[in-house]
């Protein structure tokens, strides 16, 4: 990522009006315990979440599918709120993951190229918006339900119990920090843990199993059947048609969907915001693949605070960082202006270039797989056995 002017200047901060309002309420974490977070229940074919018809209304039929041939684009409604988001079907298949040595500007961690088999899933047409993310972080679903006087049912109770983040950073009157707009824009600056906890809440709220994509699923969806450096081809000169990046972004992110989509209808999969994956980063992860057969559901589970994969490049990157195979890993510099010890579990002060989009597998995985994929708070970000959370 190219170090933007505003970020350089931000190192000379003069005034920070509000730095992460600490919420002293916490969930007690017994010594040696991984987490006492409230999660979505275990899912299985026998015990799914409450049926989507119960939480979506008449439009639920578009989201129902037994086979890949039945999959359709659908619009997901968030109960009680005037908020929807679009999901696009991604067909299953086998693809060559990584970049060949002949690709311009490739990095060593993008090889070797190896075959990966991907099962069908739906993916967010756009990156998760602030409206969607704020519904979770500000408990707006609960607030509107109470305002309307609707009684709480089992679906509500399960979603209400989900852990929510502390208030985000608000950096104002800070030298070189350009105010970042919110309405109509994708959500940014959250940690990978926060993005995964949003997915947990969304699963409870909607009755569908949502999560972050694996790194393999992300690249497969980004490529959309192509084998070129970008989903539009190898020519970086066409980037202005498809992506917000350093030269055209005016040093800020932009409303979703203003550039051309990739061949499978995904907007801003290159640029605007880079996107969290569920994987931890390992430079040699591809070298562990078996060249004789396609890998099935490769994922590198990590519960670290840093070295987590994010993909796609952003408004603050040069074109080579937006290539389909380009990989990035988070590090502690993304929390450079966070004054807390330990650093925030929920937010990153230098991650205005990172957001995420959600996926929903056609086939809900077995309970043990869901359990392995559940978010766990990184131990180095838990203070005195307590996890800072938002008070209702």
State the pLDDT at residue 50.
Answer: 47
Q: Looking at the chain, list the stretches that DSSP marks H as alpha helix, in order from N- to C-terminal side.
A: 5-10, 52-56, 130-137, 140-148, 154-160, 192-206, 215-223, 239-242, 367-373
322-348 as b/e, with b when 16 or more CB fall inside 10 Å? Answer: bbbbbbbebeeebbebbeeebbbbbbb
Edge-first strand order for the sheet with 308-311 is: 327-329, 308-311, 274-280, 354-355
State the pLDDT at residue 177.
Answer: 56
What mean pLDDT do residues 34-38 have? Answer: 42
Place of tokens 């005195």: 384
Summary mean pLDDT of the chain? 85
pTM of the predicted protein model: 0.86
State the pLDDT at residue 382.
Answer: 86
> Other C-beta atoms within 10 Å of 274: how many?
29
Of 90, 95, 105, 91, residue with least CA distance to 289 = 95
> Which of residues 139 and 175 earns the better pLDDT score?
139
Name the pairing type of β-strands 295-296 and 114-118: parallel
Query: Does residue 386 sit in helix, strand or coil?
Result: strand
> Cβ contacts of residue 305 below 8 Å, gap of 6+?
191, 193, 332, 343, 378, 380, 381
| CA distances for 107 relative to 92, 99, 309, angstroms | 27, 8, 15
Assign 341 a pLDDT band (cuts: 50, 70, 90).
confident
* pLDDT tens digits along 252-292: 999 999 999 999 999 999 999 999 999 999 999 999 999 99
- Residue count of the chain: 392
- Distance between CA 223 and CA 100 in Å, rounded? 14
Q: Are 4 and 251 in contact (CB under 8 A)?
A: yes
What mean pLDDT do residues 41-70 have? Answer: 59
> Other C-beta atoms within 10 Å of 176: how many?
16
- Distance between CA 291 and CA 294 in Å, rounded? 7
State the pLDDT at residue 139.
Answer: 93
What percent of the chain lies above the pLDDT cut of 90?
Answer: 73
Token pair listed for 312: 């796609």
Statement: residue 27 has pLDDT above 60: no
State the pLDDT at residue 152.
Answer: 95
Q: Are 106 and 335 in contact (CB under 8 A)?
A: no
Going along the chain from its start, the domains and CATH numbers come out as 5-388 (3.90.1580.10)
* pLDDT tens digits along 213-262: 999 999 999 999 999 999 999 999 999 999 999 999 999 999 999 999 99
| DSSP codes, 172-216 | -S-TT-PPPP-TTSB--SB-HHHHHHHHHHHHHHHSS--BPPPHH
Token pair listed for 153: 């049912």
State the pLDDT at residue 62.
Answer: 79
* pLDDT tens digits along 63-120: 889 999 999 999 999 989 999 999 999 999 999 999 999 999 999 999 999 999 999 9
Assign 23 a pLDDT band (cuts: 50, 70, 90).
very low
């Amino acid at each position: 990522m190219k170090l933007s002017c505003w970020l350089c200047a931000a190192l000379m901060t003069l005034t920070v009006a509000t730095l992460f309002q600490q919420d002293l309420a916490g969930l007690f974490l017994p010594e040696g315990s991984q987490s006492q977070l409230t999660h979505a229940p275990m899912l299985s074919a026998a015990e799914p979440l409450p049926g989507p018809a119960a939480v979506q209304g008449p439009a639920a039929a578009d989201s129902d599918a037994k086979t890949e041939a039945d999959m359709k684009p659908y619009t997901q409604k968030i109960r009680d709120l005037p908020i929807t988001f679009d999901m696009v079907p991604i067909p299953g298949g086998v693809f060559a993951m990584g970049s060949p040595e002949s690709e311009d500007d490739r990095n060593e961690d993008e090889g070797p190229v190896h075959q990966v088999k991907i099962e069908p899933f739906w993916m967010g047409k756009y990156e998760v918006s602030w409206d969607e993310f704020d519904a979770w972080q500000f408990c707006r679903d609960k607030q509107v339900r109470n305002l309307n006087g609707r009684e709480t049912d089992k679906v509500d109770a399960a979603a209400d119990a989900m852990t929510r983040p502390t208030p985000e950073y608000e950096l104002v009157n800070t030298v070189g920090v350009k105010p970042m707009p919110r309405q109509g824009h994708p959500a940014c600056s959250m940690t990978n843990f926060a993005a995964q906890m949003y997915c947990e809440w969304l699963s409870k709220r909607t009755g569908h199993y949502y999560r972050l994509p694996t790194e393999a699923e992300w690249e497969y969806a980004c490529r959309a059947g192509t084998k070129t450096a970008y989903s539009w081809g190898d020519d970086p000169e066409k980037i202005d048609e498809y992506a917000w990046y350093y030269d055209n972004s005016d040093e800020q992110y932009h409303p979703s969907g203003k550039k051309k989509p990739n061949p499978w209808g995904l907007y801003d999969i290159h640029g605007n915001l880079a996107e969290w994956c569920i994987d931890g980063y390992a430079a040699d992860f591809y070298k562990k693949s078996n060249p004789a057969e396609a890998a099935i559901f490769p994922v590198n589970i990590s519960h670290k605070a840093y070295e987590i994969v994010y993909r796609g490049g952003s408004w603050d990157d040069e074109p080579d960082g937006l290539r389909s195979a380009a990989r990035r890993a988070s590090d502690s510099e993304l929390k450079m202006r966070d004054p807390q010890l330990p650093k925030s579990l929920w937010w990153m002060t230098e991650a205005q270039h990172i957001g995420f989009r959600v996926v929903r597998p056609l086939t809900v995985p077995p309970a043990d797989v869901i359990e392995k994929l559940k978010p766990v708070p990184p131990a180095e970000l838990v203070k005195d056995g307590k996890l800072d959370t938002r008070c209702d």
